[in-house]
Structure 1
Amino acid sequence: MLKAGRAGKVFQVLGAMSGTSLDGVDAAVIKTDGVELHEFGPSKFRAYSTAEQAKIKRALGQWSGLEAELAAHTVNDAHIKLLTNFDDIDLVGFHGQTLAHEPRGRGTFQVGDGQALAEALRVPVVWDFRSADVALGGEGAPLAPFFHFACAKWIGAKAPLAFLNLGGVGNLTWIDPSKAAPEDCGALLAFDTGPANAPLNDFVLQRLGIAFDDGGRVAAQGVVAAGALELFLNEAYFNRIPPKSMDRNEFTEMTKLVCELSDADAAATLTAMCAASVVQGMGYCPVPPEKVLATGGGRNNPVLMQMLSVSLDCPIAPVEAVGLDGDMLEAQAFAYLAARVALGMPTSSPSTTGVSALVGGGTVSEPNRS
């Protein structure tokens, strides 16, 4: 049984993430003492089947009911099938699947049963990472920034830099690596920049029957509709001072703005909307970062990356450029956060989620040893 306060002990932790892009489950192992990253271990991905993805999509935006229950079973089963492929694990960090996120309203809702996972894997599981943060007035997201800080230390960064996650939703973590710890004043600023891949994925699935714009091929053939882009940037969200976060389906007006465009022009415009929201968000950084390191599926879209490259005032590159794995960074993040929860350490701060005080969010479920 893990005990809080055992700082210095290195745990082998398995983290699992099912993100807002709804493509599947990422799982990755790291070795950490909750402060430093000691080693990156093996990783695996399990795609959701078309039927599984459909069940989860039907439950998006719901806080209870049959659809949410079916999604929860789907998420748990997919995780168990994937995570049983890992050996010699001390602890599991289980994010679950976000169905609804309304931090200034009803709160946040992730489905997935950590206790059931602990029984299936016979390993302690840390889960429900966001509720404690929201209960203390925080946004409950983004939660990867403390891990991003550890990554900045691991790569030996000296000047301020930013991590940009281009998943279903975009989020930015600005880091001052001269600080000793992520909870230190001025070490971090984090927030959701706006929609990223989710609206584009949903659009090309509906229009073209494809899961995503692979390689940006559809967008590359189109022209950005400047009027639609301007209307998009008038959304009140972009004028809110961070920290701030948003739900996957919060920007439903995006697709209405492009509904009369051709497939290619609509894809190009939705891609430009993602890029423009990132550029707008960069203005909130305390000082300009030396570079931006991109993670998540969007880093593989050359059209999006080119839009960002010509619009940002600093270089942008995939995290692979510094030896990290952009496909597994979020799963690794929840492994790292799980270690911190088990050791009684904070996982978010006023500058990352707007929470009123440092908080270590998460529930630890132990398997029944009888």
Structure 2
Amino acid sequence: MLKAKLSKGPIRVAGAMSGTSLDGVDVAVLQTDGIGFEATDRVAFRPYSSAEQATLRVALGKWTGPEVDAATKVVQQAHQEVLADFTDCDLIGFHGQTLAHEPRGRGTLQVGDGLALAENLGVPVAWDFRSADVNFGGEGAPLAPFFHFACAQKIGATAPLAFLNLGGVGNISWVDPSRATAEEDGALLAFDTGPANAPINDFMLAHTGQTYDKDGATARKGEVALGALELFLQESYFTRVPPKSLDRNDFSEMIGLVSELSIPDAVATLTAMSAAAVAQGIDHCPHPPEQLLVTGGGRKNPVLMEMLAVSLDCPVLAVEAVGLDGDMLEAQAFAYLAARVARGMPTSSPNTTGVMALVGGGVLSVPS
């Protein structure tokens, strides 16, 4: 009966997202049929404590072991707590926490048990969004592009544009809104641009005890080390044809490139690296985007936004400029994808992840 309720018409879906920035769990509710959507004002944020963040950091890059078990408990408990206020929704989209991502090797690992969550909350849960894509030859990331296509339709875009998510890793969705559907060939191109906030946050934590560069204040005081920036841009990833994706720690050597700089110069250089990675990525787009709409925590770093603006030939705007919620867009994306999972609709395509054909990822767990 529950599955039948999910099969037609708009449904209320709570999407939960815990990203590579490791700050906490975002929850947002959409009314959606898996094609269009209406955002609601029901949102929540459950921050990770310093101790919980430390537990997650220790587990990054690991596939099994006690560190992964401890991280899983943190993720499960945090989601259980915050989603307890959303049991009136028809469906929950549960991304879990990515600890390791190696699509051309061991696969991808998002910890968290969607079946246990469904049983405990009494609400159907769509989860494990990435595994099917990887199993069919895809990168398993990024997964928000189908939602970004819906966003482009929602705001009435008529010319190609791009959505840039600046979380721990940067990812871009180039969208042609003139296409009828996200599934249509040529509607989308998506890929990870490179590191975004992760190396900045990691450096700040190690050298200042702060978890991020608030308002870009530290970067503002520094000067970019051009030699380090040039070395960074020699990484072969930037010339690799998309779709392509990254693990959070794939560019951990960035820290080494700035290790002998002052703290302000190091942070300014890491920030410039994040912006330069995006500029390199824009060159892969089929046509220049009319505008770049930025979501994620990086849009709140004015230095990073200024660096993007001077590097690109199009306006660079926070998504709030077009009426979207940059704090909750990723959580909304997994609400949207959950609806598509429940209805057997595609969630990724050859142009978004490099998968062999259209794939409907995700597992739907219904409480007994």
Deviations 1:23-82 (A, max 9, x none): 000000000000001343410111100011111111000101111011001001001111
Checking the alignment, whether the CA contact within 8 Å between 1:5 and 1:344 is kept in structure 2 is no
Q: Which runs of 5+ in 2 are unaligned?
A: none
Checking the alignment, whether the CA contact within 8 Å between 1:31 and 1:41 is kept in structure 2 is no
When normalised by structure 1's length, the TM-score is 0.98
* CA distance in 1 between partners of 2:109 and 2:294 (Å): 27
Aligned to 1:37: 37
Aligned to 1:138: 138
* CA distance in 2 between partners of 1:182 and 1:114 (Å): 27
* Residue 116 of structure 1: how far off its partner (Å): 1.1
Aligned to 1:297: 297
Aligned to 1:250: 250
Checking the alignment, whether the CA contact within 8 Å between 2:162 and 2:291 is kept in structure 1 is yes
* CA distance in 2 between partners of 1:132 and 1:4 (Å): 24
Aligned to 1:103: 103
Checking the alignment, whether the CA contact within 8 Å between 2:147 and 2:336 is kept in structure 1 is yes
* Residue 85 of structure 1: how far off its partner (Å): 1.7
Q: Which runs of 5+ in 1 are unaligned?
A: none
Note the 1:21-36 alignment, pairs <5 A: 21-36=21-36
* Residue 285 of structure 1: how far off its partner (Å): 0.6
Deviations 1:213-233 (A, max 9, x none): 000000000000000000000
Q: Which amino acid letter does the alignment assign opposite residue 214 of structure 1?
A: K
Deviations 1:233-286 (A, max 9, x none): 000111110000000000111000000000000000000000000000000110
Aligned to 2:117: 117
Note the 1:206-225 alignment, pairs <5 A: 206-225=206-225
* CA distance in 1 between partners of 2:38 and 2:4 (Å): 20
Secondary structure at the residue paired with 2:191? strand
How many residue pairs end up in the alignment?
Answer: 367
| Aligned CA-pair RMSD | 1.0
Note the 1:192-203 alignment, pairs <5 A: 192-203=192-203
Note the 1:140-289 alignment, pairs <5 A: 140-289=140-289
**What percent of counterpart residues are identical?**
67
* CA distance in 1 between partners of 2:308 and 2:36 (Å): 31
Aligned to 2:310: 310
Checking the alignment, whether the CA contact within 8 Å between 1:3 and 1:343 is kept in structure 2 is no
Deviation above 6 Å: which 4+ runs of structure 1? Answer: none
Deviations 1:150-201 (A, max 9, x none): 0001111111000000000000000000011101010000000000000000
Aligned to 2:3: 2
- Whether 1:358 and 2:358 are equivalent positions in the alignment is yes
Q: Which amino acid letter does the alignment assign opposite residue 36 of structure 1?
A: G
* Residue 5 of structure 1: how far off its partner (Å): 8.8
* Residue 4 of structure 1: how far off its partner (Å): 9.6
Checking the alignment, whether the CA contact within 8 Å between 1:293 and 1:316 is kept in structure 2 is yes
* CA distance in 2 between partners of 1:347 and 1:308 (Å): 29
* Residue 87 of structure 1: how far off its partner (Å): 4.7
* CA distance in 2 between partners of 1:3 and 1:343 (Å): 10
* CA distance in 2 between partners of 1:3 and 1:244 (Å): 36
* Residue 120 of structure 1: how far off its partner (Å): 1.6
